Chains A and B, each alone.
Chain A
Amino acid sequence: MKEKFYLYLRYQFIRRHLIDWGLNPIVGYFLATVFFIGGSSILFYKTEYAPYIYALLAISIIQNFGKPDRIYFLKSIFTDRDLLRIRLIENILTSSPFILFLFYKHRYGIAIILSAISVLMIFVKSGNSFGKAIPTPFFKRPFEFILGFRNTWPVLFIGYALTIIGISVGNFNLAVFSVILPVLISITFYTNLENEYYIFIHSMNPNEFLISKIKTALSYSTLLSLPSIILVLSYYPDRSFIILGLTALGLLFLVASVLGKYSSYPRDINIPNGIMLGFCLLFPPLLLFLVPRFYRMSVTHLKAILS
């Protein structure tokens, strides 16, 4: 009963988010389904590594359910048994669309492994709760890359491993993927809005603030990609145009994400802009229109705090 009420609350949170975004919940569920199926189909069409990316994506979402603060809170109100049951339901509900799609694509092995991991992750508490900090090379320019690096460093190192694997087996696509992976990960650092205080403290106008954010994002993201770029360029010098071109495109996407984050501040990026940003994956030239648009919108929204 208790778990039912908790899950009902979780459902209500999602519903309220959709309403906050200005969407009728039914329309929201429908769009989410369409985007999930559409995005999955595109991913599987574009790359042979789709099942692995897919599984990693599902695991990274589930991993968030095991954050210490959340677990402590749930432990304080539920028995250990109820907590495990809740985590099991959450993990299965979250991973089931991914698992079903993998079955649909006849990737049975990965689907079964993902199912098993989803179940086993109910015992995992991610992150440490003792406040012992993971060292980061980005400590000089707070804060997105400091936090992002601490949250994603295992994936970043997997990316570097992929570079070596890609080069050693002569798989150019895998090597290129590993070059843009750090940029893609950097984009995730800019998905959550910060508390207004962290904007208020800056003695900058909106233009200076945005430029400073973009500079940090570009320089640190390039730094993260640099080991892979150097290695891949040295093994595939004849394809440097593709390598550097894709990296530049990734960085442009990163800029759009940074600006998109503030384009509706203090609210999350609105649905039409979010859709346009997603559409840029299919049609990257749209970024050339979207970046200035997001910049103008961000300046307008930040003026209230950074006048």
Chain B
Amino acid sequence: MIRVDHVSKSFDSKKVLQGISLSFDPGQIYGIVGHNGAGKTTLFRCIAGLESFDGAIQADRVPLKNYLGFLQTEPYFFNKMTGKEYIRLLCFARHHNIENIEDKNIFDLPLDQYASTYSTGMKKKLALTAILLQPNDYYILDEPYNGVDIQSNIIITEVLHRLRALNKTVILSSHIFSTLEDTCDKIFVLDQGVITKEVNQSDFKLLEEEMKQFSIGDKLDMLGLK
């Protein structure tokens, strides 16, 4: 369980998160949606302990970061580090000995090549593989489907279902609504640093319609497409 209690975060005068309170239970997958710049990544970084903040974040396993697999929006890779070495580094950092990495290569990545030369989707898959091979109880996945091919999309969705079955706590963001629909138990809508909605699975369709209405409205008419 992770409990976020009245968390606020500002960068200079810009308030990015404003008193956010949320609770994430084990065996559940939570989606966070919002516009670009709504504060999703900042919220994730606060939970991960990569940002200071006002308020409190508690977890049943402490320190939370030692049990957290954090997939960043744009994973960073050193030049001249192979995919295999990246995976080994992440496991080594958690005192987790890993053998036969090739056998666990679910996305068929070229693990002996330098990770910095991978495509965007491959980088995402490598970073995801590495945190899946760590012994984690919590997962924060910032845009896991970003740039990933269709086959891998299917695998990621199945992985998420498997994590839920294993009683892990998963929080993810995605700009592709259907991926959230397929995986999440609950979706939180984040707007300008405030949680404006909490939607259960039964109301996902309604939420999608609402978002469509709100996002598109009559904007397309402005283009005057003929």
A143/B85 contact (C-beta < 8 A), A131-B110, A131-B117, A203-B94 known: yes
CB proximity to A under 8 Å, residues B89-114: 89-90, 92-95, 110, 112-114
| Chain A neighbourhood of B112, CB < 8 A | 133
Which A57-93 residues sit within 8 Å CB-CB of chain B? 67, 69
From known contacts A147-B78, A197-B72, infer whether A203 and B66 are also in contact, taking CB-CB under 8 Å. yes
Contact A146 B79 (CB under 8 A): no
Contact A201 B94 (CB under 8 A): yes
**How distant is the Cα of A142 from the Cα of B115 in the complex, in angstroms?**
14
- Tell me whether A146 and B94 are in contact (CB under 8 A): no
Q: Is A141 engaged at the interface, CB distance under 8 Å to the other chain?
A: yes
38-96 of chain B: CB within 8 A of chain A: 48-50, 52, 63, 65-66, 70, 72, 75-76, 78-82, 84-86, 88-90, 92-95
Q: In the complex, A150→B81 CA distance in Å? A: 9
Report the interface size class on chain A.
Answer: 20 to 34
For B110, what are the chain A residues with a Cβ–Cβ distance below 8 Å? 131
Cβ of A307 under 8 Å from chain B: yes
| CB of A139 within 8 Å of the partner chain | yes
Tally of contact residues, B, Cβ under 8 A = 33
- Tell me how many residue pairs across A and B have CB atoms closer than 8 Å: 80
Point out the residue from A69, A142, A305 that lies within 8 Å of B92, measured CB to CB.
A142
List the A side residues contacting B75 at CB < 8 Å. 197
- Tell me the bound Cα distance from A204 to B209 in angstroms: 46
Cβ-defined contact, A198 with B79, below 8 A: no
B117 touches A146 (CB 8 A): no
Please pick, from B70, B81, B84, the residue contacting A200 in the complex, using a CB distance under 8 A.
B70
Closest chain-B Cβ to A4's Cβ sits at a distance in Å of 29
Contact with B along A108-145 (1 / 0, CB 8 A): 00000000000000000001011111100001111100
Are A150 and B80 touching (Cβ within 8 A)? yes
Indicate if A196 sits at the interface (CB-CB under 8 A): yes
A191: chain B residues at CB < 8 Å are none
Q: Which residues on B sit within 8 Å (CB–CB) of A219?
A: none
Tell which of A133, A142, A200 touches B49, judged by Cβ atoms closer than 8 Å: A200
A197 to B50, CA, bound (A): 9
- Residues of chain A contacted by B116 (CB below 8 angstroms): 69, 131
A146–B50 CB distance below 8 A: no
Within 8 Å CB of A147, what residues of B? 78-81
- Would you call A142 and B117 a contact (CB within 8 A)? no
Which of A139, A194, A200 interacts with B88 by CB under 8 Å? A139
Inter-chain CA distance A197–B140, complex, in Å, is: 14
Residue of B nearest to A144 (CB): B78
A147's nearest neighbour on chain B, judged by CB, is B80
Q: Could you tell me if A305 and B117 are in contact, using CB atoms closer than 8 angstroms?
A: no
Tell me the bound Cα distance from A195 to B113 in angstroms: 21
A141 contacts across to B, CB distance below 8 A: 92
CB pairs A–B below 8 angstroms (8 shown): A131-B113, A131-B116, A132-B113, A133-B113, A142-B86, A143-B81, A197-B76, A198-B76
Seed contacts A69-B116, A201-B90; 7 additional CB < 8 Å A-B pairs:
A132-B113, A143-B78, A143-B85, A146-B85, A197-B72, A202-B93, A203-B65
Pairs A-B, 9 closest by C-beta atoms: A131-B117, A131-B113, A142-B89, A203-B66, A131-B114, A201-B93, A202-B93, A195-B76, A150-B80
